[in-house]
Amino acid sequence: MNRQFALVLVAGLAALSLAGAAAAQHPGAAPAAAPKGTTATLQGGAAEWIKDPHWHTYFDMTKAAFAQGPGKVDVDGFEQKSFVLFRDFGKSKGVPPEHMQDHLKLIPRQIVQIVREDPHVLDSYQNFVDAAFGPQ
Distance CA 67, CA 116 (A): 12
Give the H or E element holding residue 37: none
Per-residue pLDDT tens digits for 59-100: 999 999 999 999 999 999 999 999 999 999 999 999 999 999
Q: What is the pLDDT of residue 86?
A: 96
Q: Is the pLDDT of residue 6 over 50?
A: no
8 Å CB contact between 133 and 10: yes
Side-chain-side CA neighbours of 42 within 13 Å: the count stands at 24
How much is the pLDDT for 51?
93
User: Which of 39, 3, 26 minimizes the C-alpha distance to 130?
Assistant: 3
**For residues 56 and 65, what is the distance between their CA atoms, to the nearest angstrom?**
14
Task: Give the pLDDT of residue 136.
Answer: 77
Spans of all domains in the chain = 3-32+42-133
